[in-house]
Amino acid sequence: MLTIGLADDEALFTMGLSMIIDAQPGMRVLWQAIDGADAIRRHDAQRPDVLLLDIQMPGTDGLAVTERLVKAGTTTKIIILTTFEADAYVLTAVESGAAGFLLKNTPPDQLIAAIHTVHRGDAVISPGPTRRLFAAFRDPAPARDDAARHDRQAAEQLTARERDVLTLIAAGLTNREICDRLSLSMPTVKTHVGNLIAKTGARDRVQLVLFALRTGLATV
């Protein structure tokens, strides 16, 4: 059974989400929190597989909750839900360790699909935030010397095939689609993805995309 935690200060919104999620086979809402502090308490008592967090909540917001739980080593996958598409929110969510960033008007079927996606270990970002995320790299702020040096060194360690896989990840392809595109087996693709994460120091596929954009291995 896939368990879900919900955190939003709008009770009607979480009630609606709960009804949608509980109607799915093999999925149930474990608890509903009214704010960030409540979400942390409930998470520590009952750790869900996936946590859906609103960004703007009284007191501790969704981004702060994400950063705190990730630093504490949570195994819960976190999806940020918001009405905002601002670059800063998307980038901060990714940097804090969120596995997903979705707008609250995401259709129910896409939301359910996103929950399954992050539970499998992948990451998802809504099309709107994705465009803004990529746009932020058209004119990125100057990188710190040490960070830029790390990126260059990591890029130089990648094999030609790893670069091919990274380019396709940055283009939004799934592992299955990469298998088909490059005529590789699923275990081979998973090995390449694991090697990419290890060599770049990325946390997940979204951070691999950011690495590809920073190093010029992918373009927007």
Distance CA 209, CA 148 (A): 16
pLDDT for 48-88, tens place per residue?
A: 999 999 988 888 888 899 999 999 999 999 998 887 666 56
**More confident site: 206 or 179:** 179
pLDDT single digits (tens) 100-141: 888 888 889 989 988 998 888 777 776 555 555 555 555 555
Summarize pLDDT for 11-23 with one digit per residue, the tens: 889 999 999 999 9
The whole model's pTM is what? 0.71
Neighbours of 151 (CB within 10 A): 19
Listed in sequence order, the residues at least 6 apart from 14 whose beta carbon sits closer than 8 Å to its beta carbon are: 6, 7, 8, 32
What does each C-alpha distance from 136 to 11, 62, 92, 118, 171 come to in angstroms?
33, 22, 12, 24, 16
**Cα 120 to Cα 123: distance, rounded to the nearest angstrom:** 9
Q: Which amino acid is at 108?
A: P
Q: What pLDDT is stored for residue 101 in this prediction? A: 81
Domain layout of the chain by residue ranges = 2-135, 145-215
**145-215 under CATH 1.10.10.10, yes or no:** yes
- Taking only the tens place, the pLDDT of each residue in 78-97 is 998 887 666 567 777 777 78
Q: Give the strand pairing for 100-103 and 50-54.
A: unpaired
As a whole number of angstroms, the distance between CA 102 and CA 100 comes to 6
Nearest to 7 by CA among 44, 36, 29, 27: 36
> Which of the pair, 198 or 143, is modelled with greater confidence?
198
CATH of 2-135, one of 3.40.50.2300, 3.30.70.100, 3.40.50.300, 3.90.550.10: 3.40.50.2300
